[in-house]
């Protein structure tokens, strides 16, 4: 059985100190837990080095600031803490999860005198985010009934816990129907993203991806855009209607955890997957970039 996340060996960086994993606790009466007053990051270390660590830290601070959380550490302290923790855990390849949340000083929705806590945990059992066989074969997606809200409903650039309820609802919906993932549309009905990744669509030498004006402009998305443009593909950011999906040959998802993951179907539309696809080549190219071996 997979290890649970509360009961493990090792260390967690917690408010500036390393504490034993099993002692990294918080009280159940905390604003972060009750009202999703929290932000987080998702990063990956390859060969002992976090890919785009500074950019993730900057997004972490920006997410916090967006929801009014002042992180009581500097960006360089967080960068060092991440490195020290990976070293202390003796990992080379792992997932990295910085987290900041409002604590137990107050209950209710006022945040004026809330206390803020920060932690970092790392784990090495997300070698692939999806099952290896699903990554190889490609994921099956179903369109979620839950939509990305308009930008004036919730700050969409922040990697904040609150909006993730839309993602967990969508993911549960997909799994309950026997699919691997959910495709979320936005409030206008355009194709937006999957529950923890951005989406790319391939037709010949053209690669299309939705405009991130109400969902996260992922760091992986930005890396992949640079990568495919460098390779001479014509990258187009556009609004995509769901009934246009059938016009594409290949589809893939991008995210720190998901890396590049092929999609074999969305609802009843099938896409090409396998070793002779462009997506497969991009997966290999992306790996070279993140491991610094290109
Ligand atoms: N969208 C959502 C909802 C996500 O959770 C993620 C993962 N952070 C992404 C997109 C991709 O972002 P990134 O490439 O920065 O990991």
pLDDT digits (tens, 9 = 90+) for 112-169: 999 999 999 999 988 788 988 888 899 999 999 999 999 999 999 999 999 999 999 9
Share the mean pLDDT of the chain: 96
Cα 90 to Cα 80, 87, 159: the distances in Å are 15, 5, 28
CA distance 113 to 129: 38
Query: What is the per-residue pLDDT for 210?
Result: 98
- Is the CB of 290 inside a 6 Å radius of any atom of ligand 1? no
- Is the CB of 264 inside a 6 Å radius of any atom of ligand 1? no
* pLDDT per residue as tens digits for the range 198-251: 999 999 999 999 999 999 999 999 999 999 999 999 999 999 999 999 999 999
* pLDDT per residue as tens digits for the range 8-60: 999 999 999 999 999 999 999 999 999 999 999 999 999 999 999 999 999 99
SS (H, E, C) 270-293: ECCCCCCCHHHHHHHHHHHHHCCC
Three-state secondary-structure class, residue 88: helix
Q: How confident is the model at residue 2 (pLDDT cuts 50, 70, 90)?
A: low
- Is the CB of 167 inside a 6 Å radius of any atom of ligand 1? yes
> Which of the following is catalytic: 52, 58, 80, 159?
159
pLDDT at 294 over 90: no
Cα 98 to Cα 36, 119, 262: the distances in Å are 15, 6, 27
- 105 CA to middle of ligand 1, Å? 31
Closest-CA residue, ligand 1 atom 10, reads: 197
Substitution site in 191, 255, 286 for ligand 1 pocket (most atoms within 8 Å of beta carbon): 255
SS (H, E, C) 112-153: CCCCEEEEEEEECCCCCCCCHHHHHHCEEEEECCCCECCCCC
Query: What is the per-residue pLDDT for 1?
Result: 53
* pLDDT per residue as tens digits for the range 261-286: 999 999 999 999 999 999 999 999 99
Q: How confident is the model at residue 64 (pLDDT cuts 50, 70, 90)?
A: very high
Q: For residue 144, what are the contacts with CB-CB under 8 A and spacing of at least 6?
A: 169, 170, 173, 174, 182, 183, 184, 185, 195
- 166 CA to middle of ligand 1, Å? 13
Please say if 49 is a catalytic residue.
no
Q: What is the DSSP letter of 265?
A: E
Substitution site in 197, 213, 289 for ligand 1 pocket (most atoms within 8 Å of beta carbon): 197
- Is the CB of 256 inside a 6 Å radius of any atom of ligand 1? yes
Q: Which atom of ligand 1 is nearest to the CA of 42?
A: 8
CA distance 11 to 171: 30
Three-state secondary-structure class, residue 19: strand
> By C-alpha distance, which of 268, 240, 247, 261 is closest to 142?
268
Closest-CA residue, ligand 1 atom 7, reads: 196
CA distance 96 to 50: 8
> By C-alpha distance, which of 38, 259, 8 is closest to 121?
8
24: its two tokens: 């990294």
- Is the CB of 210 inside a 6 Å radius of any atom of ligand 1? no
Q: Which atom of ligand 1 is nearest to the CA of 198?
A: 10
- Is the CB of 197 inside a 6 Å radius of any atom of ligand 1? yes
- Is the CB of 196 inside a 6 Å radius of any atom of ligand 1? yes
Q: Which atom of ligand 1 is nearest to the CA of 215?
A: 1
- 101 CA to middle of ligand 1, Å? 19
């Amino acid at each position: 059985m997979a290890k649970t996340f509360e009961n493990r060996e090792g260390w967690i960086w917690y408010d500036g100190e390393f504490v034993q994993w099993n002692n990294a606790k918080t009280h159940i009466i905390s604003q972060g837990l009750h009202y999703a007053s929290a932000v987080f990051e998702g990063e990956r270390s390859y060969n002992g080095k976090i890919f785009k660590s500074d950019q993730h830290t900057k997004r972490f601070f920006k997410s916090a600031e967006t929801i009014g959380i002042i992180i009581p550490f500097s960006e360089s302290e967080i960068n060092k803490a991440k490195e020290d923790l990976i070293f202390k855990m003796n990992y080379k390849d792992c997932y990295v999860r910085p987290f900041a949340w409002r604590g137990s000083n107050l209950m209710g929705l006022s945040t004026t005198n809330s206390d803020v806590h920060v932690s970092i945990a790392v784990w090495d059992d997300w070698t692939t985010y999806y099952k290896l066989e699903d990554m190889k074969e490609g994921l099956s997606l179903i369109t979620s009934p839950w939509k990305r809200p308009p930008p004036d409903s919730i700050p969409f650039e922040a990697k904040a816990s609150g909006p993730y309820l839309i993602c967990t609802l969508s993911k549960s919906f997909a799994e309950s129907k026997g699919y691997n993932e959910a495709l979320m549309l936005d409030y206008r009905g355009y194709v937006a993203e999957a529950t923890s990744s951005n989406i790319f669509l391939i037709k010949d030498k053209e690669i299309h991806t939705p405009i991130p004006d109400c969902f996260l402009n992922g760091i992986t998305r930005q890396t992949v855009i640079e990568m495919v443009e460098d390779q001479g593909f014509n990258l187009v950011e556009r609004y995509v209607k769901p009934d246009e999906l059938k016009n594409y040959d290949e589809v893939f998802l991008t995210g720190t955890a998901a890396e590049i993951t092929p999609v074999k179907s969305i609802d009843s539309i099938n896409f090409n997957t396998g070793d002779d696809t462009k997506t497969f080549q991009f997966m290999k190219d992306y790996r070279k970039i993140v491991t610094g071996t290109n």
